[in-house]
Amino acid sequence: MLKVDGDMIVFPAAIISQEENPFDPEAPLILDFEKAKSKAIALIKDKQKILDDDEIILTFSCSREDNWRRKYLPSYKADREPSPLLIPQLKEFLSEEYHVITNSCLEADDLLAMMQDPEDVNSIVCSGDKDMFTIPGRTYLWNRKIDKTQTLREANEFHFEQVLQGDRTDGYFGCPGIGPAKAKKILAEFKEINCEIEYQQAVWEKLIETFAKKDLTEEDLKIQYYVSRLLRKGEFDFKKKEVKLLDFLK
């Protein structure tokens, strides 16, 4: 079964289906809903054809304001441009055509990640966002044409790299002065630790030390940890609307 980030379907479909009035730039945008629908369906069918699977689930994000990560970091994705105007209509249309899942405070890729079964090679999450590599299991990153199955260790390593280097596009900045090469070097000394819990605990102590050198606290570290990783199965309490992370510290 394909599990597809619906946000990355509706956004490009909506953006190419709105344009300024050539005779009056101050007039409302000209919208073409039929064009948007056709583009969205074409994008979905393209993923189905590439991965040879007709069964599909789409996920859509909550509003930016209600995103659970904003509780920890108000700047998270705060500088994004306003969404294309046809997105709400497109979501409604696709909800009638496909199996769609959404939640009031979760992002589309969180929902994908929590549905992923790392043991099932036929369970594929499809996205254009590298953050999918913070979860174990099979991921198809369509903008790079990468079809890869992540181990739990690979997913945790990639996540810790994100914690260290940050992601300015998403509005979090990691540990000042650390880029991709330095992040990999810091983590390299722990590769020989086989137990995953022990690995995460050892890395965490190193990260506390690394952040402290920049006058940052463990609480600062936790914020970077939270906002940089997708939620995995069992890490969100749907009743309390709370995340359950950092279990390896208990």
Q: What local confidence, expressed as pLDDT, does residue 244 receive?
A: 87
Q: For 25-48, how does the pLDDT look when each residue is reduced to its tens digit (9 = 90+)? A: 888 999 999 999 999 999 999 999
Which alpha helices (H) appear in 71-217, and where do they start and end? 87-97, 108-115, 152-165, 180-188, 196-212
Asked which of 56-70, 140-154, 231-245 is least confident by mean pLDDT, the reply is 231-245
Q: What local confidence, expressed as pLDDT, does residue 184 receive?
A: 97
Domains identified in the chain and CATH numbers: 2-150 (3.40.50.1010), 152-249 (1.10.150)
Q: What local confidence, expressed as pLDDT, does residue 191 receive?
A: 95
Q: For 68-126, how does the pLDDT look when each residue is reduced to its tens digit (9 = 90+)? A: 999 999 999 988 888 999 999 999 999 999 999 999 999 999 999 999 999 898 899 99
